[in-house]
Amino acid sequence: MALIINVNHLSKKFNDTYAVNDLSFTVNEGDIYGFLGQNGAGKSTTIRMLLTLIQPSSGIIEMFGKKLSTHRSEILKEVGAVIEKPDLYKYLSAYENLSIFAKMSGIKVTRQLLMNQLQMVNLQDRAKDTVKTFSQGMKQRLGIAVALVHNPALIILDEPTNGLDPQGIADIRNLIIRLSRELGKTILISSHLLSEIELIANRMIIIHKGKKMVEGNVADLLDPAHTLVEIETLNNTEAAALLQQSTWAPFLLPKNQLQLMMNKTAVPQLINDLVTMGVQLLSVNSSHSLENYFLSLTTQSGNVEAFTN
């Protein structure tokens, strides 16, 4: 499988602070690659370096097997991107916006081509409407149509669901899946909405304060070993103290002494031990998600910061 993006030891330093610190990762052809981290983790800085909007302090970026530093124009012809909110002409129609950006890309523009692009993002019925009348979700979809107009092999989306309502988020999710399955696009999507990435990505990286914490296949990373178990008892203070003194202490999360990150297969033994300790249980609930996995990684580093959903 061909490498589309190959990043090696990439860093970006602003004054005395590293926004990105010795970051390496790969994106394969056909991936929907989740680029995950909370706000301020270094996601947007990395994407701006991939698009040559800012220069790295150190490190190497290769795309399509070529160094970005020496083949910039050639590489960027194969890349479409939406960075945060798309830049659109709000007093022009969707069709007119797409036509302008298509001409700027230097491609031959036909009405059929533009209407096909609008149909791909489900805006064909709003082709003549001005962008100022669009919802934020519709603007995002039009922005993706603009990014697709020159038929790039790689699509880069930076927080494409920011500020969208649930329906808008679902529309973008479904569009990304269609771009991958029907058009064979490789997609890198950055987000702090872990639940969304879990639904669409096949591979992912989690970064924290500019550094890589983990990278791999979503299915491999989301294994039963990272299950969040929450306990409720008649006397939570007493139960927490007993757990702290037991063999289960290493699995306790520091922010809540009645939450454990553990292998799901060990839950029956945990319940047996709690009963043996005389704990009066009300409930034991287990759940597993990408957010729990991130939590398990950051607690290991002693720094827990919540994602927003």
Comparing 42-46, 116-120, 209-213, 252-256, which segment has the lowest mean pLDDT?
252-256
Beta strands in the chain (DSSP E): 3-14, 17-28, 32-36, 58-63, 66-67, 79-83, 154-158, 186-191, 203-208, 211-217, 227-233, 252-253, 256-262, 281-287
Query: pTM for this structure?
Result: 0.77
Mean pLDDT of the chain, nearest integer: 88
Q: What pLDDT does 293 receive?
A: 66
**Tens digits of per-residue pLDDT, 25-38?**
999 999 999 998 88
User: Which residues, 6+ apart, have CB-to-CB distance to 145 below 8 Å?
Assistant: 94, 98, 117, 118, 120, 121, 123
**More confidently predicted of 265 and 64:** 64
- Residue 109 neighbours by CB distance under 10 Å: 16
CA angle 231-236-239, nearest 5°?
80
Q: What pLDDT does 192 receive?
A: 80
Per the listing, tokens 């603007």 go with 139
* One-letter amino acid for residue 128 of the chain: K
Domains and CATH numbers, the chain: 3-217 (3.40.50.300), 227-288 (no CATH)
Q: What are phi and psi of 254, to 5 degrees?
A: -65, -25
**Tens digits of per-residue pLDDT, 147-159?**
999 999 999 999 9
**More confidently predicted of 45 and 262:** 45
**Tens digits of per-residue pLDDT, 168-178?**
888 999 999 99
Phi-psi region at 150: left, alpha or beta (left = phi > 0; alpha = psi -120 to 50): alpha
Q: Which of 158, 81, 149, 93 is nearest to 120 (CA)?
A: 149
User: What percent of the chain has pLDDT above 90?
Assistant: 62
Q: What pLDDT does 106 receive?
A: 83
Q: Which of 235, 230, 275, 278 is nearest to 252 (CA)?
A: 230
Determine the average pLDDT of the residues in 100-107. Answer: 87
pLDDT band at 23 (very low <50, low <70, confident <90, very high): very high
Q: What pLDDT does 307 receive?
A: 41
Instruction: Give the three-state DSSP class for 294.
Output: helix
pLDDT band at 224 (very low <50, low <70, confident <90, very high): low
Largest Cα–Cα distance of the chain, in whole Å?
A: 76
Token pair of 261, please?
A: 């990150």
Is the per-residue pLDDT at 285 higher than 90? Answer: no
Cα–Cα distance measured from residue 71 to residue 293, given in angstroms and rounded to the nearest whole number: 38
Determine the average pLDDT of the residues in 194-220. Answer: 87
Is the per-residue pLDDT at 140 higher than 50? Answer: yes
Q: What pLDDT does 17 receive?
A: 92
Q: What pLDDT does 292 receive?
A: 63
